[in-house]
Amino acid sequence: MNIEQARFNMIEQQIRPWEVLDQQVLDLLFVVKREDFTPSAYRNLAFADMEIPLADGQVMLAPRVEARLLQELGVKKTDKVLEVGTGSGYMAALLAARAEHVVTTEIRSELAESARANLQQAGIENVSVEVGDGLKGCAQRAPFDVIVLSGAVPAIPAVLLKQLRVGGRLAAVVGEAPVMEAQLITCVGDGVFNTINLFETVVPALEGAAAAKAFAL
């Protein structure tokens, strides 16, 4: 496989047609090597329009979904970011390239360890990988300018919204299969939020997300 050709095809045939037109985001997809965050057994599928299996039944989201969320969040160099659901560390790497610092939480210690190794090997130093339930947020590091959930939730936990700085943005896929919608939620004032529906999709739920619905209400 010609890796660079496959990367180019992914960007031009999958991601750009999905309304990802921010050139900085498209350029970043050439720089952060997706294949380096893909399990070796699936490396030849790193650029495919599909979710890639990780350990413990988790997945890497499809490239177009990650790229679209990254674009809509408009991450800036001064931003503090919280990611819920580290997975392989790829989305954290993309976020880190645009942010000041990224805290990424992973409920499964084996995945966290693997992601930490992937990020270290890629030379990315402004990411902290924490083991724990990210749906409870990370109060000791809050408030955040950006929060992104790398998996679906039936509703946004209120505790995460409380950790969003005024002017901060949260991106998540909300709902239950077969009806889910990617949303961008902006904190426009203390306890005041504006929600934009971005696109319909279906992605796997974050572990513990169903239980979290109770405290989202």
Please determine, for residue 55, whether its predicted confidence score (pLDDT) is greater than 90: no
pTM (2 d.p.): 0.94
3 state SS of 9? helix
Output the pLDDT for position 177.
Answer: 87
Range of the domain at 196: 3-216
Confidence of residue 211 (pLDDT cuts 50, 70, 90): low
Confidence of residue 70 (pLDDT cuts 50, 70, 90): very high
Output the pLDDT for position 97.
Answer: 97
Q: 21, 70 in Cβ contact below 8 A?
A: no
Instruction: Give the mean pLDDT of 133-149.
Output: 96
Instruction: Give the mean pLDDT of 30-44.
Output: 96
Output the pLDDT for position 209.
Answer: 83
Output the pLDDT for position 32.
Answer: 97
Output the pLDDT for position 213.
Answer: 55
pLDDT in tens, 153-163: 999 999 999 99
State the chain's mean pLDDT as an integer.
94
- Across 184-202, b (16+ Cβ under 10 Å) vs e yields bbebeeeeeeeeeebbebe
Count other C-beta atoms under 10 Å from residue 206's C-beta.
22
Work out how many domains the chain is built from and give that number.
1
Output the pLDDT for position 214.
Answer: 47
* C-alpha to C-alpha distance for 104 and 90, rounded to whole angstroms: 11
Q: In this structure, what CATH number is given to the domain that contains residue 171?
A: 3.40.50.150
Strand partners, 180: 175
Residue 147: half-sphere exposure toward Cβ, Cα within 13 Å: 33
Output the pLDDT for position 215.
Answer: 46
Residues 153, 29, 118, 85, Cα dihedral to 10°: -10
